[in-house]
C-alpha cells in the first residue's frame, strides 16, 4: 500500500510522522512525504536508515514549493516569543498561535490547491496529515479522499468543548473557578476571531470559494479546528499517553497511542564497536562518580537571553551547593550570536555540559545517571519523558505547555515552575532541590507506572496498524472543480523517483 504523509517541516509535527512511516516501511509499504523543502533532509535520513535498498526505495519526498504555509514556523515563533510566552490563563498566547498559523488567504489557498493537485497525481491509498498544518488539511479535504490526522499537541486542544471542560489556556483546572475562567477564555477567543476581517474572510471563503463544509465561524479559524468532523476523516492518532485527564472528553474517532517513538533496539554497529558518544561518556563519568544528572532542554524554538541564561546557571549553582557537589547538568541551549564563547566559567564547566546539539537524546533518557528532565512542556518532550519513566520539571512557555505542567503535577510525575514562563533561579532551584530529595522516589515510581501505559499503547507501531487496518481505495469525489496537473509538480515527482 501507498501512504502519503503531509506536514509542515517543524520537528514537533514531523517526528511522529517519520516514526510512523518507518513502521509502515518495515511492513513493505510505500510512503511519500509532501512538505516544505526543509523536510527533505529528514526524509533522506529515514531513507538511509533502512536496512536494505528495497526498503530505502519505498521512502519518497515531494517538495511543495515556497509558500509560507509549508515552511517551518519555528523562526516565526522565535521572532514573536514576547507575544507567545505567557503565563497560564493568558489568552494572548493562543491568539499569537492562531496568527502564526494563518499567514494570508492567498498563501493558504495556493498551498491547498497545490496539495490537492499533487494528491490527484500521486493517488495514494491513504492520506495522513498533521493536525496543525491547516492549509495542507484544506488541500486534502478538497480531494474528497479518506484521511487520518496525526495529533502531536496536548489533549486539551482536541478535547470536546463543553461547560465543564477546561480551556486549553486555562490556569484553573477544577471546580467553579475553572468553569468561569474557561467560559471567559472561550468568549475572548470567539471575539478575537470574529473581530479580525482576515479571519472572517477566511471562514467565508472556505465555504464560498472552496465549497467546504463549515465547522462554525470560530472553529473554522481557531488553532485546531475539529477536522475529525469532516465526512472523509477516518480518525485521529493522538501521540499522548492514554489515561490523561482530558482523554474521556476526546472525540470517539481519536485514538491515543502514547509517545511517538518505537521501542528501542540496540544498534548493531554500537554492539560491535562499543562506541560511546562524548555525551554518553560524560554521563558514564557522572554515574561512576555517584553524581545525579539533570537534563535541561527548553526546545528548538526557545532562544536564551543573557539574563535568563544566567538565571538558569545560578539555579544550577544553588542546587549543586545544596547537594554538596553531587549534581551535574546537561544543558542543551540555543544561544544568541556571540553568547556561546565563554558562556561558562572554568569552574562551571566542571559540572555543566553546555551543548547546542545532543547526538542521541534517547541514550540520554535511558542513562541511569539521569534523575530529572527539565523542559518547556512541549508535547514530544513530555511524552518522551513519560515513555522512559523520567521525573519532569516543566517551565511552561505558552498555551498547551502549561497543560502538560498541570498533568505532571496531577499524576505525581514531577513539578511545574510557578513562575513560568519566566526563568527564575530561586523558583527553578527550589523545584530541583525538592525533586532530587526524598520525593524523587515517589515521582520516579509514578513516572514508571505511566511509562508502562505509554509503552503498552504502542506508539508508531500502533499508529501504523491503525492506518493499515483502515486503508481502503476510496472513490475520489473531489468537491473542487477544474483541478489541473501542473508540469512543475510532475517534474518534482520524477525527481523523487516515484
The domain segmentation of the chain, as residue ranges, is: 2-262+458-490, 268-455
CA distance 349 to 409: 32
pLDDT tens for each residue of 252-276 = 999 999 999 876 554 444 444 568 8
CA distance 443 to 421: 23
C-alpha cell at 261: 517513538
- pTM for the full predicted model: 0.89
Rg, C-alpha atoms of the chain: 23
CA distance 294 to 280: 14
C-alpha cell at 443: 515521582
* CA atoms within 13 A of residue 168's CA, in its CB half-sphere: 23
* CA atoms within 13 A of residue 191's CA, in its CB half-sphere: 8
What pLDDT is recorded for position 340?
59
Phi-psi domain of 328 (left: phi exceeds 0; alpha: psi -120 through 50; beta: other): beta
C-alpha cell at 117: 493537485
Per DSSP, the three-state class of 175 is: helix
Q: Give Cα separations from 301 to 102, 352, 404, 488 (angstroms).
A: 18, 22, 17, 33
What pLDDT is recorded for position 147?
97
CA distance 200 to 196: 6
What pLDDT is recorded for position 472?
64
User: Residue 52 carries which DSSP code?
Assistant: S
CA distance 478 to 463: 27
Q: Do domains 2-262+458-490 and 268-455 have the same CATH topology?
A: yes
Low-confidence ranges of the chain (pLDDT < 70): 163-164, 246-248, 263-274, 336-342, 472-498
What pLDDT is recorded for position 431?
98
Do the beta carbons of residue 279 and residue 364 sit within 8 Å?
A: yes
- What is the full DSSP assignment across 246-296? TGGGS-TTEEE---S-PPP---HHHHHH----HHHHHHHHHHHTT-EEEEE
- What is the full DSSP assignment across 53-109? HHHHHTEEEEE--S-GGGS--HHHHHHTHHHH---TT-THHHHHHHHHH---HHHHH
Handedness of CA 460, 466, 468, 472 (dihedral sign): negative
What number does CATH give the domain 268-455? 3.40.50.2000
What number does CATH give the domain 2-262+458-490? 3.40.50.2000
* CA atoms within 13 A of residue 282's CA, in its CB half-sphere: 23
Do the beta carbons of residue 203 and residue 220 sit within 8 Å?
A: yes
> Helix, strand, coil shares of the chain as percentages rounded to 5?
50, 15, 40
> 347: which residues sit within 8 A by CB, 6+ positions away?
none
Backbone angles phi, psi at 255, to 5 degrees: -115, 130
What pLDDT is recorded for position 79?
84
Place of cell 538511509: 48
C-alpha cell at 324: 554538596
pLDDT tens for each residue of 341-380 = 568 989 999 999 999 889 889 999 999 999 999 999 999 9
CA distance 126 to 152: 19
What pLDDT is recorded for position 282?
97
What pLDDT is recorded for position 338?
55
User: Residue 13 carries which DSSP code?
Assistant: H
User: Residue 305 carries which DSSP code?
Assistant: -
Amino acid at each position: 500500500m501507498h501512504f502519503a504523509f503531509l506536514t509542515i517541516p517543524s520537528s514537533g509535527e514531523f517526528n511522529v510522522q517519520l516514526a510512523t512511516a518507518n513502521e509502515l516501511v518495515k511492513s513493505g509499504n510505500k510512503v511519500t512525504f509532501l512538505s516544505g523543502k526543509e523536510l527533505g533532509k529528514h526524509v533522506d535520513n529515514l531513507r538511509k536508515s533502512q536496512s536494505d535498498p528495497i526498503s530505502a526505495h519505498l521512502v519518497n519526498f515531494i517538495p511543495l514549493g515556497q509558500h509560507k504555509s509549508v515552511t517551518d514556523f519555528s523562526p516565526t515563533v522565535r521572532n514573536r516569543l514576547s507575544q507567545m510566552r505567557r503565563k497560564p490563563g493568558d489568552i494572548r498566547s493562543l491568539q499569537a498561535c492562531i496568527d502564526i498559523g494563518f499567514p494570508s488567504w492567498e498563501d493558504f489557498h495556493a498551498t491547498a490547491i497545490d496539495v490537492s493537485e499533487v494528491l490527484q497525481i500521486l493517488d495514494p491509498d491513504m492520506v495522513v496529515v498533521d493536525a496543525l498544518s491547516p492549509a495542507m488539511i484544506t488541500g486534502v479535504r478538497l480531494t474528497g479522499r479518506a484521511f487520518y490526522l496525526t495529533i502531536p499537541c496536548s489533549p486539551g486542544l482536541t478535547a470536546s468543548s463543553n461547560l465543564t471542560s477546561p480551556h486549553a489556556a486555562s490556569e484553573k483546572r477544577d471546580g467553579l473557578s475553572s468553569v468561569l475562567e474557561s467560559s471567559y477564555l472561550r468568549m475572548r477567543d470567539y471575539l478575537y476571531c470574529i473581530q479580525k476581517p482576515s479571519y472572517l474572510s477566511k471562514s467565508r471563503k472556505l465555504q464560498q470559494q472552496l465549497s467546504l463544509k463549515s465547522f462554525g465561524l470560530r472553529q473554522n479559524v481557531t488553532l485546531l479546528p475539529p477536522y475529525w468532523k469532516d465526512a472523509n476523516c477516518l480518525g485521529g492518532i493522538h501521540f499522548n499517553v492514554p489515561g490523561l485527564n482530558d482523554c474521556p472528553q476526546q472525540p470517539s474517532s481519536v485514538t491515543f497511542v502514547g509517545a511517538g517513538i518505537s521501542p528501542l533496539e540496540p544498534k548493531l554497529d554500537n554492539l560491535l564497536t562499543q562506541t560511546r558518544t562524548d555525551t554518553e561518556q560524560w554521563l558514564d563519568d557522572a554515574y561512576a562518580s555517584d553524581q545525579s544528572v539533570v537534563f535541561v532542554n527548553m526546545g528548538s524554538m526557545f532562544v536564551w537571553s543573557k539574563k535568563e541564561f544566567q538565571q538558569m546557571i545560578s539555579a544550577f549553582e544553588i542546587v549543586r551547593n545544596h547537594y554538596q557537589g553531587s549534581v551535574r547538568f546537561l544543558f542543551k541551549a540555543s544561544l544568541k550570536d556571540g553568547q556561546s564563547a565563554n558562556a561558562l566559567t572554568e569552574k562551571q564547566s566542571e559540572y555543566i555540559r553546555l551543548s547546542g546539539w545532543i547526538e542521541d537524546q534517547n541514550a540520554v533518557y535511558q542513562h541511569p545517571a539521569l534523575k530529572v528532565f527539565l523542559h518547556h512542556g512541549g508535547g514530544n518532550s513530555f511524552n518522551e519523558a513519560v515513555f522512559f519513566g523520567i521525573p519532569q520539571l516543566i517551565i511552561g512557555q505558552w498555551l498547551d505547555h502549561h497543560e502538560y505542567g498541570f498533568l505532571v503535577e496531577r499524576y505525581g510525575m514531577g513539578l511545574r515552575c510557578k513562575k513560568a514562563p519566566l526563568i527564575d533561579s530561586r523558583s527553578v532551584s527550589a523545584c530541583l532541590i525538592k525533586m532530587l530529595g526524598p520525593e524523587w522516589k515517589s515521582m520516579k515510581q509514578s513516572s514508571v507506572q505511566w511509562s508502562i501505559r505509554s509503552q503498552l499503547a504502542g506508539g508508531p507501531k500502533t499508529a501504523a496498524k491503525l492506518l493499515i487496518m483502515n486503508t481502503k481505495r476510496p472513490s475520489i469525489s473531489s468537491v473542487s472543480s477544474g483541478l489541473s496537473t501542473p508540469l512543475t509538480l510532475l517534474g518534482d515527482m520524477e525527481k523523487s523517483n516515484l
